[in-house]
Amino acid sequence: MIHEAMRYTLVSGGKRIRPVLCIAACELVGGNEDTAVPAASAVEMVHAMSLIHDDLPCIDNDDLRRGKPTSHKVFGEHVAVLAGDALLVRAFEHMAASTKGVPPMRVVRAIGELAKSVGAEGLVAGQVMDVKPEGLSGDVGLERVEFIHLHKSAALVEGAVVLGAIMGSGSEEEVERLRMFGRCIGLMGQIVDDILDVTKSSVELGKTTGKDMVADKLTYPKVLGLHKYMEIAHKLVEDAKEALALFDAQKAAPLLAVSNYIVDKIN
């Protein structure tokens, strides 16, 4: 039962953006795809567990994820909690046991990076801040929203890219440039989702003003307005491109393609 619950979310049709980024970053710094596959899988396991826990009744209480019943709806709440825990631990076990052809110090560093992107300085920090404020109004600080998005959404995307660069034996400078790239597109991904939430709601309600219709979510559009928010998304694409500028353009093409894929949804 526990393995079935672990697999249920892990193979339920996500876009796999994080593992793709991890492998592309590894190849960009000259590494072989195979050396990044365990890390890429580990990142996807962490992503899957975060979705399971995010959907729980005590957090977002969602019934559907990717068009299917959420883990706790299928397996019950206690199994969903445990499946999330087991996936989290399995991610680290898998990286430690299955990474081949990478110096042990690099594997240890990558494990540390992943842990940091998940824990109280990463996903967990973002989730803790993302409590629904009662009577939310225009005075919700931009800083707070930025903190939530950077931690809850961008941290694991950044982690995925950094892990790939480490496994591919990237230099310190390459790792840091790719960290910046990952952070930009992670943040951009969340912004694009927020914009689509707003525009979709507007279309559904037959309105064309782009005014925020999402009542209970803490989003940038609520704080900044849609126009300014679009500007930020486009600025992040430029920053992401700049972070890749010193790499060979042809080799950087796959990462740029992911970045364009994300932002094209709002163009």
State the residues that interact with ligand GRG by CB under 6 A: 14-15, 17, 47, 50-51, 53-54, 59, 66, 88, 118, 123-124, 127, 152-153, 189-190
Q: Which is nearer to ligand GRG, 153 or 219 (CB)?
A: 153
DSSP run (H or E) holding 64: strand 64-65
Output b/e per residue, 18-46; b: 16+ Cβ within 10 A.
Answer: bbbbbbbbbbbbebbeebbbbbbbbbbbb
Angle at 226 between CA 186 and CA 261, to 5 degrees: 35
Nearest-CB residue to ligand GRG?
14
Q: Which is nearer to ligand GRG, 29 or 49 (CB)?
A: 49
Q: Closest distance between ligand GRG and the C-beta of residue 194, in Å?
A: 10
Q: Which is nearer to ligand GRG, 74 or 124 (CB)?
A: 124
Q: Closest distance between ligand GRG and the C-beta of residue 207, in Å?
A: 25
Q: Which is nearer to ligand GRG, 31 or 189 (CB)?
A: 189
Q: Closest distance between ligand GRG and the C-beta of residue 209, in Å?
A: 26
Closest CA to 8 of 61, 57, 56, 79: 79
Q: Closest distance between ligand GRG and the C-beta of residue 122, in Å?
A: 7
Q: Residues 6 or more apart from 215 whose CB is under 8 A from it?
A: none
DSSP run (H or E) holding 255: helix 249-264
Q: Which is nearer to ligand GRG, 102 or 192 (CB)?
A: 192
